[in-house]
Structure 1
Amino acid sequence: MDLRRWWYFAVLAEEMNFTRAAQRLFISQPSLSQQIRVLEREFDTALLDRDGPRFRLTEAGRVAAEEARRLLEKVDRAQAKVRAAGRGETGRLRVAHTRSAPGPRASALVAAFRRCHPEVAIEAETGWTSRNVEQLESGEIDVAFVRPPIDSALLEEVIVDEEEILIALPAAHPLAEFERLERRQLAGEPVVFWSRDNGPGWYDQIREQVWPGHQPTVVWEEPDDEQLLHSVAAAAGIAAVPEHRARGLNVAGVALLRLADPVPRTHLALAYRRGEHNPLVANFVALARREPAVPPGQ
């Protein structure tokens, strides 16, 4: 059944006058009359009582007018939903966080997106950079927070935050008495690190900034920063950690010190698929580019 005829009949039922209804519909009166008769044949029942100087709605016509109104309201809602989805205002966005950066910037971006797009359902999960990159490449997630640099021809990234890398030491360590550490003071110290497989580019970036020119003496590996700091507290070694995460965890028995210039820094990036056409992703990336970054140390 042609939806247009439902619309014609709904307007006619409101106006109860063929001339006015035809004017509203921008069609001729004979065309409107013909379409209403076609609709009656499709229903196999009369919708109008044409006896007398003015037509009236039959009982079937009153039901048809009410159903036409409801049907057209549903169509309007459906059109609005489709258009909103096309603008990236509804739907589902799958976001992956990285365990090393649960801090203010990532959370603030997601919260800002929720405020701007309250009809969008956000599905969030937490992984590590390498895993997030793999899931993003395979299409399992839509956007991901990662620690750059990443090595992927399929992805693009936008830097959204920067923070300082601190040195975590056991609280009783002799170096904990210093205000700032020189890199030469770290030479030979046992180091606790997480696996390079979690984020090769980030691992190498930290190593090159903190232990330039040589490999650190890694004596133990932990899966994430929390376990790493607990190992430091147990005097297994020292560690290089991002400031937001380290201060947020606040592990007892750990002293956090800054390094002398050049101050080592790390970034947080939002990664997404190159050439992505999903408007939700476009809106999230645009927000990440537009929102001011949280100042380092905040």
Structure 2
Amino acid sequence: MPKTDTILSAKALRYFLQLTETMNYTQAAQILGITQPALTQQIKKLEHAIGAPLFGQVGKKLYLTEAGKKMEAASSSLLDTISSVINDIQEFTQIDRGTITIGILKTIDLPIFNKFLATFKNKYPNVVLRVETYERERLWQLLDTNALDVAIMYLPDNTRRDHINLHHQYNHLNVVDDEIVILSHDPDLEANVSYPVGEFVNSKWIAYPDTFYLTQIIRDSFGPKHSMDIVGSFTDSRDLVNFATETNYNTFVTRTFFEQHRDSISLTPVFLKRNRKFNISIVYSKSKVEVPRIKNLIDEWKKYIN
């Protein structure tokens, strides 16, 4: 083993850097809380290991040699790296430090989860929460590449059955059972009643884009015999409802969205018979529970929801 392996410790580097700041053995030793002979011995060992003097002296004044100048730059870089690695390890091993990245499907509006995050943040102020909204395919992509810790999305997601095995690769917690609510202008329809698909085959629709989960769900509910005449689309639920209200077109939203905004919606809410049910779920890779802060978030959510 080279002798530098036993000499170039973090402690030795800190002693050296402290001496470069004060250029005085007595002051540096006092700041470090050691004796001057102990500091002198450490510097001599460091110089012996390197094979070159780090300090020169003119009268009583110290100065850095060329080797000392290079050692100063290298020591700062090494200590920064060590500190960074320690921080990374601490973030990985501690429940109350580090960053948690959360992706939420754009069409999901879930105040209870926002309230939970506020409660969680108050309890663990040193955990950084990064929350963004995404479309479904982007959410899966970020989960698959480990760029997201947790996703809030709809399940079951049949569009992914050929790409992943949810049971083997991911865990999920159901948050809310949900379904689609149709918002209609038809005065003959009774609110909160379920109607067969045939009641709507001649309707024109404002919908989410075709790639959105909810549009695919309602198309599946209509079945292969009945097509939907979609004349426009919006990505935001509020825009969808507002535009439908100002026109003669039908639209649809989730029951959770409707219940939150019931007072501001004037269209008649009805349901499809054989309406497909789905869940708003928290989805995360099974490997994520090995990270203490992620496991803690999941555990805190379970306690909160109970």
Give the TM-score range, shorter chain.
0.5 to 0.7
Q: What TM-score, normalized to structure 2?
A: 0.60
Partner of 1:148: 155
Structure 2: how far apart are the matches of 1:293 and 1:267? 19
1:175 maps to a residue whose letter is: L
CA distance 1:80–1:274, change in 2 (3 Å): closer
- Residue 256 of structure 2 corresponds to residue 244 of structure 1: yes
- 1:119 CA drift (Å): 3.6
Contact 1:169 1:237 in 2 (8 A): yes
CA distance 1:288–1:138, change in 2 (3 Å): same
Partner of 1:127: 134
Structure 2: how far apart are the matches of 1:97 and 1:109? 14
Contact 1:168 1:229 in 2 (8 A): no
- 1:6 CA drift (Å): 5.4
Instruction: Note the 1:155-170 alignment, pairs <5 A.
Output: 156-170=170-184
Partner of 2:4: none
CA distance 1:167–1:33, change in 2 (3 Å): closer
Partner of 1:53: none
Contact 2:185 2:268 in 1 (8 A): yes
Structure 1: how far apart are the matches of 2:13 and 2:296? 41
Q: Deviations over 1:225-248 (max 9, x none)?
A: 334323542231253x21222344
How many residues end up aligned between the 2 structures?
Answer: 256
Q: Deviations over 1:5-35 (max 9, x none)?
A: 35679996435487xx7xxxxxxxxxx9854
Structure 2: how far apart are the matches of 1:161 and 1:203? 21
Give the alignment's Cα RMSD to 1 decimal.
4.7
2:106 maps to a residue whose letter is: R
- 1:196 CA drift (Å): 4.3
Contact 2:193 2:270 in 1 (8 A): yes
Partner of 1:187: 198
1:124 maps to a residue whose letter is: V
Contact 1:97 1:144 in 2 (8 A): yes
Partner of 2:3: none
Instruction: Note the 1:42-81 alignment, pairs <5 A.
Output: 42-44=53-55, 81=87
2:109 maps to a residue whose letter is: P
Structure 1: how far apart are the matches of 2:298 and 2:125? 17
Structure 2: how far apart are the matches of 1:38 and 1:231? 78
- Residue 266 of structure 2 corresponds to residue 256 of structure 1: no
Q: Deviations over 1:120-156 (max 9, x none)?
A: 4444322222232234334554432221123142752
Partner of 2:92: 86
CA distance 1:287–1:216, change in 2 (3 Å): farther
Aligned counterpart for 1:222 among listed residues 223, 227, 233:
233
Q: Deviations over 1:179-205 (max 9, x none)?
A: x31333x533136343442228x834x
**Structure 2 residue ranges without an equivalent (≥5):** 1-6, 19-27, 63-71
